[in-house]
Structure 1
Amino acid sequence: MNSRRDADKAAAVVQVFATALGRLPERPAVEHFVSVMETLDAPFADVTAVDRMADMIVGSDEFRQRYGAKHESDVLFVRALFRDALGREPTTLEYMRFARRSSRASVLAEVAGAPEILGRFDPFEWLYPHGAPVQDDRAYALWAERYDSEGGPKDAPLAADQKPSITFLLNVPAWRFDLLEETLASLRTQTHPGWAACVAASVDDFRTVERLLDGACKDPRVRVLSVPPDVDARQVAFQAAETPFIAFLEPGDRLRASAVQFIAEALAELPETALLYTDEDRIDAHGRRWGGRFKPGWSDDQLLGGDTIGQLAVMARERIIAVGGLDAATACVRTAEACDVRQWSVEERERAFQLAVKLRVAEATATDQIVHLPRVLFHRGRGFSGPSQMVAARASPHAPVFVEHAVVARHIADCRPGLRLTEASLDVAGPTTHSMLWPRVLYPLPTVMPTVSIVILTRDNPDLLARCLSGLLYDTDYPAFDVTIVDNGGVEPEAAALLRQLAADPRVTVRRIDTPFNWAALNNEAARGTSGQLLLLLNDDIEILRRDWLDELVRQALRPGVGVVGARLLYPDGTLQHGGMALTPDGATHILRYASSGEGGYLGQIGWQRDMLAVTGACLLIHRALFEELGGLDEEFRVTCNDVDLCLRVVAAGRRVVWTPHAVLTHIDGATRGRDYRSDRQVRFFRETARLIGRWSALIASDATINPNLKLTDRDVLLAPPADQHGCPEGGR
């Protein structure tokens, strides 16, 4: 029962139970009644779900025990139902209205829709008390009805001398006349009048569009433009736009009625914005919403993986002109298609064009001028193109290459020739005939590679350490590294013998430090004895899986503005241990722990490189100069939270923390120091977590790794009631 069409039925069951019986239904009861109503859809298509549910419940034994066996309504029944369900007497007007109702079912159905009932019982929260699977369309429809329905800001009329700030550009193909009115209707219902629309149609279709939109054309904000033969309609519309910002729409797309209002407020708050994007969903002909896409905040270079922005995308018109206008995007698409082995469809060309424009704008825009507004303001309708892949991953090596991949490759060739776009499997064993292939950008390595000083703490873990060093010394392609092993009070002869053997390698230094275990202090002391330009903190319970792991970390670290890089760590069974961390008021949570090794996660969140606030210290690469500038790890965090604190200080210093899925290692989580199961260790963990949260509460509150409409657990990303920060623009994240 996961269809979006079940959402109104599930809500009806909860509403009617609460009204008629004074309690919420058991979950099996919800499933039963929804199933029954499904069978009634065909013969009773014009009857609402609440009416059907009311008809069924008035015949139940429990209802009859409360109100008697009569089917007819009377004043006594109306009064009793109001008292029981609403806790009050009916008003005079309500008495008069219900006096005309002959059946108890019709009275019950109307009372079940009273604001007091809807406000008291939340079908979404009751059906999904811990959050819902984010891909569950029934859950999303309930969420949208409860938390994302209209009734937003009030109309804010423009001042007499104020002009619209956003122009929506629409190109009308000859077969999309029927959908254009839907889109313009959604614009005419905007609560904020600061918009304009340029509708481009061919010369042959111009009069047809004018007649079709006779009402809309009387609105001075809507201009219908005639496009001569062999002229790009989008170019005509763009040149006619006079506002600071533009956005592309397709016939059939709809905007939330308060979309322009929210966007205008965000742009007023962040006036330097060059690119703003929102969350989106899909909408059918009956207005039912489904397929919600709750996007994370901005990460540098995220568009190189595909159209991760999607819709709605609002761009500064002057910025588009500065990067070559629409001509540059059109040329990019034409060249990309010419290099493909197949001809693209009209839908694919439109997707490719919009991505090409975004790529050009993002390429010339500072991170703090790209804003994510985490509200569902765009409803993708029945237009021809459909939603693009957020990250352009192919289902198998035999699947055709997405047009997004081809456009990114062309963009890189034009604007970033030092980069190379490839594809890679997330499967540990490498690609197979059934492996999904994810886009991967190979950033350049310099001719003279920087030395990486690797610090490993150990104590009497000879088997783990031997496996770790074997991979480091003999299965790592990157040539410029040295290793410092810190023996923190080891006593086992086998471990001592291994350390003597490892010290014979000129790349390895072994140090003995017999102080009480303090992960931060030991790493700081070891780092002071090394000299590499890059410093890698590595656990001794790490096993190397791919020879290029250190190449990938260094490639990422040498990107402009990057301070720290983290890796994809797997458990010995191949499931995910570390895909980056998200921060909440409760502390740090690993993203999608236990996901399968080839899984990319919701919207590709663990299939593509991304900026985060923190990565784990089990494998953490940092620039030495930055490490020293920050004073190393905070030794007050003796065992936990020291890595997260370091990352947050890096971000506070204006540098970036990046996680990559293409540096892959096995991590036996907890093997280095043991699990924190003892009560004293648990106390220390909570004490250090509380200190971390107290120090960084403001920065933690701004973490845009996970959309604020979603809730992160160790294993899942769940749809949840929106948090207090819902809707705040995330500038530069």
Structure 2
Amino acid sequence: MRERNRDGVRGRARLVQREYDQWRLRHEPVEADLIRMRTESRAWMDRPLISIVMPTYNPELDWIRPAVESVIAQTYENWELCIADDASTAPHVAAILAGYAAGNPRIKVVMRPQNGGIAAASASALALATGDFIALLDHDDTLREHALHSVVATINAAPDTDIVYSDEDLLLADGTRGRPFFKPDYSPDLLLAVNYMCHFLVIRRSVVEAAGGFRTGFDGAQDHDLLLRATEKARRVGHVPDVLYSWRQVPGSVALSSNAKMYAYEAGKRAVEEALLRRRLAGRVSIGRQLGTYHVRLRISDQPHVAIVIPTRDRVDLLRGCVESIEKRSTYANWSITIIDNDSVDPATLQYLNHSRHRVVRCPGAFNYSALINRGRAAVDAPYMLTVNNDTVVISEDWIEALLEQVQRPEVAVAGGRLLYPNGNPQHEGIAVGNVRGGYMAANLDAGWMGRVIRNVTAVSGACQIVKTSVFDELAGYEERMGVAYNDVDFCLRAREAGYLVIYTPHAQLRHRESASRGALDPYSDHELFWARWGRVGGIRDPYLSPHLRELHPLRIRLDPLPIER
């Protein structure tokens, strides 16, 4: 079995590499593009100075040269490179840095007299900077030639942008580029869980100063710590959906092995803990099973009542399993169950409902999921309503706490859990909207490692969805003209439109047999109404799904037609 799994992983890696090679042919600029960018950027009215901050310590010659040369090759020319060497013992380092500084007035170098760690070296490099923006770059990373051009174009398009990050790939040990990371737009909850923005990062200098710069004691997580503080000060965070840099895979690097730097993960945990304190959020932080990720569990205040609403029709075998799993496995105490029965006729189901210790509300008529949920809301009196499909079974004992700790936040309207197929594979780890498979406007995600961390999403499934009842009422509930499909997604989109967040948490896990109770209904009228309200396929873009990905299980790279002249 393990051998089969390894073969599957290797096969998947080869597929991603082939797709990425094809993506690069379609998207990376050729020489004519670079010439145009250089000419274009010279004519810009706003040409902010970008100070690239690079701490170094014993870099191999084959690392530091490509890193510095990648800066010199930038099509945007208003930059300075600020290098602080942290008392390297390798004899070639001082000579090569001195040579670059002597040969290019835009390169500044300071040699620290004693080793102080990467946070201290980063602070020394930052002290050399005079630019309007600070860019962070490791001594073994390389920039694409158009990296700074893309960043400044983003800033000029939205002048209140204070932070810019981009997508990335790895420079593999064999010298090839692979393993791309096509990132979501700014996701504050994902940033708490992991520094997904990573190395090449550009922050307005005034924001870096307001945030307090680099802090000692956070070696290995100094960028994450700075980012968490800087995003608290930033007006806008911009994302360039393009691979602008490569993170080198070297021995001892996190890029090669996540076990390489345990001290960095401990520092990252402290950075997240301090972020919670600054934001006055009571909770605890633990290091995730995937090193480099963090689980934030917030304290629940006042133990509020959670009204669980389960719509059903017949299939007592499913309903009983769902209810018993809630009763036996839930550790949260203050909950109730209301079953919304939609014309059950099966004798066994009717007998179960008639003798249930939970409240049963009859809702006759043709199946309309939205109407059932709205009827459930009318029947309960609680600050939170948790909808659960009758074909789900609770896996996580603290599933209610995991959902409640998110939706209790003032800025959050909706939270949803992780749904697994009966075989244990992911069925739902958030819902992607707009940028999904042809003919559909929304689809469940198998989000890979991001499915195992709390993050912002555009929508979550109504099969396990907790909402503030005040927001549910504010938005007039579910759209009953969408009786089967898209109603949960439509509600989440309306919540986001009203300024609320939607959160996915992996800590509420349920097993789900989708459509086992009602069958596979998906009327075209629901599609038409959803399209009319939110735009046809491709007309809306999900900020939490890269435009370079297409929805499949698992996610795959989107390959557009090749440009004619490439």
- Could you tell me the TM-score, scaled by structure 2's length? 0.86
SS at match of 2:491: helix
Q: Is the 8 A contact 1:147 1:722 kept in 2?
A: no
Q: What residue in structure 1 maps to residue 266 of structure 2?
A: 406
Displacement of 1:423: 5.2
Q: What residue in structure 2 maps to residue 511 of structure 1?
A: 361
Q: Is the 8 A contact 2:53 2:137 kept in 1?
A: yes
String of CA shifts for 1:619-678, please: whole Å, max 9, x gaps: 1111000000000011110111111100100111111111111101111110231123xx
Displacement of 1:571: 2.1
Compared CA separation, residues 175 and 207, structure 1 to 2 (3 A): closer
The question of 1:265 aligning with 2:153 is answered: yes
Q: 1:352 aligns with which of 221, 229, 234?
A: 221
Q: What residue in structure 2 maps to residue 552 of structure 1?
A: 402
Q: What residue in structure 2 maps to residue 56 of structure 1?
A: none
Q: What residue in structure 2 maps to residue 443 of structure 1?
A: 298
Aligned identity (percent) is 28
Superposed, 1:328-339 pairs within 5 Å as 329-331=215-217, 333=218
String of CA shifts for 1:327-376, please: whole Å, max 9, x gaps: xx323x2xxxxxxxxxxxxxxx4x322222223323x246x622221101
Superposed, 1:149-548 pairs within 5 Å as 149-150=29-30, 151-152=33-34, 153-155=36-38, 156-158=40-42, 164-177=48-61, 179-201=63-85, 209=94, 214=99, 217-229=102-114, 232-283=120-171, 288-326=176-214, 329-331=215-217, 333=218, 349=219, 351-362=220-231, 364-365=232-233, 369-381=236-248, 386-388=253-255, 402-417=262-277, 418-422=282-286, 439-446=294-301, 448-502=302-356, 505=357, 508-548=358-398
Q: What residue in structure 2 maps to residue 659 of structure 1?
A: 504
- Counterparts of 1:691 and 1:134, CA distance in 2: 41
- Counterparts of 1:290 and 1:470, CA distance in 2: 47
- Counterparts of 1:146 and 1:209, CA distance in 2: 40
- Counterparts of 1:548 and 1:405, CA distance in 2: 25
- Counterparts of 1:268 and 1:524, CA distance in 2: 46
Q: 1:688 aligns with which of 511, 520, 526?
A: 526
String of CA shifts for 1:587-618, please: whole Å, max 9, x gaps: 111112xxxxxxxx54x121111111111111
Aligned residues: 534
Q: What residue in structure 2 maps to residue 718 of structure 1?
A: 556
- Counterparts of 2:361 and 2:192, CA distance in 1: 43
Displacement of 1:219: 3.0
String of CA shifts for 1:566-600, please: whole Å, max 9, x gaps: 111122222222121111263111112xxxxxxxx
Displacement of 1:700: 6.3
Superposed, 1:95-114 pairs within 5 Å as none
Specify the code of the residue in structure 1 equivalent to 2:322. Answer: C
Displacement of 1:178: 5.2
Q: What residue in structure 2 maps to residue 137 of structure 1?
A: 17
Q: What residue in structure 1 maps to residue 7 of structure 2?
A: none
Superposed, 1:617-628 pairs within 5 Å as 617-628=462-473
The question of 1:608 aligning with 2:442 is answered: no
- Counterparts of 1:451 and 1:540, CA distance in 2: 21
- Counterparts of 2:260 and 2:56, CA distance in 1: 28
String of CA shifts for 1:541-581, please: whole Å, max 9, x gaps: 12122221111110111234111111111222222221211
SS at match of 1:577: strand
Q: Is the 8 A contact 1:564 1:658 kept in 2?
A: yes
String of CA shifts for 1:294-329, please: whole Å, max 9, x gaps: 222222232333322223211222222222221xx3
Displacement of 1:498: 1.0
- Counterparts of 2:78 and 2:505, CA distance in 1: 41
- Counterparts of 2:113 and 2:417, CA distance in 1: 53
Cα root mean square deviation, aligned:
3.1
Specify the code of the residue in structure 2 equivalent to 1:309. Answer: M
Specify the code of the residue in structure 2 equivalent to 1:154. Answer: M
Q: Is the 8 A contact 2:309 2:338 kept in 1?
A: yes
Specify the code of the residue in structure 1 equivalent to 2:373. Answer: N
Q: What residue in structure 1 maps to residue 548 of structure 2?
A: 709
- Counterparts of 2:480 and 2:59, CA distance in 1: 67
Residue ranges of structure 1 left out of the alignment (5+ in a row):
1-131, 334-348, 393-398, 426-434, 593-600, 677-681, 725-733
Q: What residue in structure 1 maps to residue 5 of structure 2?
A: none
Q: Is the 8 A contact 2:287 2:294 kept in 1?
A: yes
Compared CA separation, residues 436 and 370, structure 1 to 2 (3 A): closer
The question of 1:147 aligning with 2:27 is answered: yes
SS at match of 2:376: helix
Q: 1:642 aligns with which of 487, 501, 508?
A: 487
Q: Is the 8 A contact 1:708 1:722 kept in 2?
A: no
SS at match of 2:188: coil
Displacement of 1:723: 9.1
Q: Is the 8 A contact 1:708 1:723 kept in 2?
A: no
Specify the code of the residue in structure 2 equivalent to 1:638. Answer: G
Compared CA separation, residues 181 and 322, structure 1 to 2 (3 A): same
SS at match of 1:665: strand
SS at match of 1:704: coil
Q: Is the 8 A contact 2:221 2:268 kept in 1?
A: no
Displacement of 1:224: 2.3
Compared CA separation, residues 162 and 655, structure 1 to 2 (3 A): closer
- Counterparts of 1:721 and 1:185, CA distance in 2: 30
String of CA shifts for 1:698-722, please: whole Å, max 9, x gaps: 9962303322112112x22112225
SS at match of 1:295: coil
Q: Is the 8 A contact 2:482 2:526 kept in 1?
A: yes
- Counterparts of 2:324 and 2:205, CA distance in 1: 55
String of CA shifts for 1:175-222, please: whole Å, max 9, x gaps: 545533322222222111121111223689999746665466343322
